[in-house]
Amino acid sequence: MSDTPRNRDLWRVPTLALWIVFFLIGLAPEQAYLWLRDLAGVLPQRALVNSYHLVTLALAGYVGLFCHYRCLGAGLSPREAQDRGLQLTVVGLVAFLAVDFRLLLVAHTDPIFQYRLATYFIGVSKLVAWWSLLALFIRYYTFGDDHVFAGIPSLFPSTRRNKDTGPRPASSDETPSSLPPQGPEDDAAGHERE
């Protein structure tokens, strides 16, 4: 049997371009919101949504949902996919946070050191989170790495996989009482039965 190369999806390039537009909007959500509102000619008094924070929440939620479905498609369990989706939603909230970058340029003139430090920390955190998310999407669409979202290390202890000792599948003849204790609760229960 000969190996045939996987057909490249022609929709990957336009989809990546659309994601880049979303990421540019997320880089400055307040300015994008005001620009779109002015472009549409909507008066602030007549707007249904009068807060640019909705842009941050919508983009972060969509990134988390997208990651969740990509992890399910890569074969992760629903719980692992949910955890990675939640994790990228939190990163998205930081990445799409409304930050006035002009403050970074004048922060060195602030006489209070803690304010300067907080300004730099927030600005750098936003840029690092924004770039790391964009890099994931570039890897997914440009290089065809379909398992890029599933390969994100989980920060939640409940879904971390131990590489040396993975979960051992139970055979049909093993009963819960014949399995070794799994934790302190099971160990204490095992001693009480003896």
Tens digit of each residue's pLDDT (9 = 90 or more) over 84-110: 999 999 999 999 998 888 887 777 787
Whether 78 contacts 113, CB under 8 Å: no
User: Structure pTM?
Assistant: 0.72
Tens digits of residue pLDDT in 46-55: 877 788 898 9
3-state per-residue secondary structure call for the chain: CCCCCCCCCCCHHHHHHHHHHHHHHHHCHHHHHHHHHHHHCCCCCCCCCCCCHHHHHHHHHHHHHHHHHHHHHCCCCHHHHHHHHHHHHHHHHHHCCCCCCHHHHHHHHCCCHHHHHHHHHHHHHHHHHHHHHHHHHHHHHHCCCCCCCCCCCCCCHHHCCCCCCCCCCCCCCCCCCCCCCCCHHHHHHHHHHC
Along the 194 residues of the chain, how does pLDDT read in single tens digits? 444 344 467 888 899 999 999 999 999 999 999 898 889 888 888 877 788 898 999 999 999 999 999 999 999 999 999 999 999 999 999 999 988 888 877 777 877 788 888 888 988 999 999 999 999 999 999 888 888 999 988 887 776 664 443 444 444 444 444 444 554 444 444 444 44
